Amino acid sequence: TAVASALEALRGHQTLQNLAQKYGLAPSKTSSWLQELEMNAIQAFDKSSMSDKELKRMQSENQCLLQKVGQFAIDCDFFAKACEASGLKVR
């Protein structure tokens, strides 16, 4: 409903009031969806909708998480060997 009403509003064939009645919405809702569509339309054609800053942040976070996983694997192996050495059963 949001996409359909916003696209129809963008086409301009009907008033916001008519579209609101057609979709059973408040005219302000149709208007806000239209504004949101207009503000974000560039993302439909943008190959990289993620900003460089956001991409770098996510790459950094990914690297940090990979390091943590590696450290947890090392810790797990260490404790498994310690358990075996002390005669405890390892799953």
Q: Give 48-75 pLDDT, tens digit per residue.
A: 667 778 889 999 999 999 999 999 999 9
pTM: 0.45
Range in 33-37, 42-46, 52-56, 57-61 the model is least confident about: 42-46
pLDDT for 48: 64
Model confidence at 23: pLDDT above 80: yes
Neighbours of 9 (CB within 10 A): 23
In the structure encoding, which two tokens stand for residue 4, read together? 């359909």
